[in-house]
Amino acid sequence: MSNGGDNNEAVQIQDSGSPALGGGNHAEIQQGDATTEATGAFAQQVQSGATNEAYATQYLSSDESYQEQLGTDNKAVVEQNTGGISSGGNNLVEQFQDGDRNEARSDQNGNGNTVNQEQYGQDNFSSVKQRYGQDAGNMATSIQDGSLNNSVINQQSHGNMSMVDQTGDGQTSLINQNNPTTGAAAAAGGYNTATVIQRNANVALTPQTRRIAASKRHTF
């Protein structure tokens, strides 16, 4: 699905009726380009079953993308401000996956961007890349509940915040802030904050906050 310009909105639903049934679906949304015209872009993709793929590409600023996948071996990918405009940003990504061996990736360029990722199950992988911002101030949150999950967050420039909350055994977290880059973003590095919480599933601590289906904007 491709949207050219003006007040864009795209919703894709691929529902097998059960996370354990069906799957193999592919959903793709592109908002902007030819060349880069989209304005009020909004994208939402909902899939259930196994081996599904969801891709959303948004070219400008102040965009929102929501992805929800229920089942196993699914993949969700969002790219925002793909033009690499260093003064752009204020984009939002929310990705929610419930099942095993799922993969969630978010790639944002610019300033003031936010990524929230939630994964429940085993052997899941999440990745966030936030870069190229002149003023930065990006935020990334990764919540993983299960075992053998892996979270990777990379943030460039300054004023960024990362939070990883993992419950269960065999979890891995990597946060890299102030990556080597060039130009003004390199000179203005610093003032970043990183928090990692890892706890065993058997320890009674304050539970993680779980949003309802990635804070979906529409109710189905």
pTM for the structure as a whole: 0.85
Residues 6 or more apart whose Cβ sits within 8 Å of residue 207: none
Q: What is the pLDDT along the chain (220 residues), one digit of tens a residue?
A: 555 556 778 889 998 777 767 789 999 998 876 666 656 778 999 999 999 999 999 888 788 999 999 999 999 999 998 766 666 688 999 999 999 999 999 999 988 999 999 999 999 999 999 987 677 899 999 999 999 999 999 998 889 999 999 999 999 999 999 865 555 555 556 789 999 999 886 554 455 555 544 554 544 3
How far apart are the C-alpha atoms of 64 and 212, rounded to whole Å? 17
Concatenate the DSSP letters of all residues of 81-143 into one string. Answer: STT--TT-B--EEEEEEESSS-EEEEEEESBS-EEEEEEEEES-EEEEEEE--SS---EEEEE
Whether omega for the bond prior to residue 35 falls within 30 degrees of 0, making it cis, is yes
Give first-to-last CA distance, the chain, whole Å: 20
How far apart are the C-alpha atoms of 15 and 168, rounded to whole Å? 29
Concatenate the DSSP letters of all residues of 42-78 into one string. Answer: EEEEEEESBS-EEEEEE-SSS-EEEEEEESSS-EEEE
Burial status of residue 160 (CB atoms within 10 A of its CB: 0-12, 13-18, 19 or more): buried
